[in-house]
Amino acid sequence: MQPMTPNWRTSSYTETQNCVEVADSDPEHVLVRDTKVRGRGMLAVQRGSWAAFVEYAKEA
């Protein structure tokens, strides 16, 4: 099986490139990286944890 290529995107609320990018094409994880230093690496976050973070951020 060939590794999945991440489908990176930024939030539609972002007006600049000074943000994070996420890729949710992996069935188990959401990938997160910094747009300013894309080559530095990424975080792989479990989908349930990412969903909880997004809900929390919406309320803040």
- For the record, the structure tokens of 37 come out as 């230093």
Residue 3 lies in a domain: no
Count the domains in the chain.
1
Confidence (pLDDT) at 14:
67
Residue 31 lies in a domain: yes
Residue 4 lies in a domain: no
Residue 16 lies in a domain: no
Residue 7 lies in a domain: no
Residue 10 lies in a domain: no
Query: What digits encode the pLDDT tens for the residues 4-60?
Result: 789 998 877 666 666 889 998 888 999 999 888 889 999 999 999 999 999 998 887
The CA–CA distances, whole Å, from 46 to 24, 36, 51 equal 10, 23, 9
Contacts of 23 (CB under 8 A, 6+ apart): 6, 7, 8, 9, 30, 31
Confidence (pLDDT) at 58:
87
For residue 41, what are the domain limits?
21-59
pTM value?
A: 0.79
Confidence (pLDDT) at 4:
77
Residue 1 lies in a domain: no
Confidence (pLDDT) at 33:
92
- Sequence length of the chain is 60
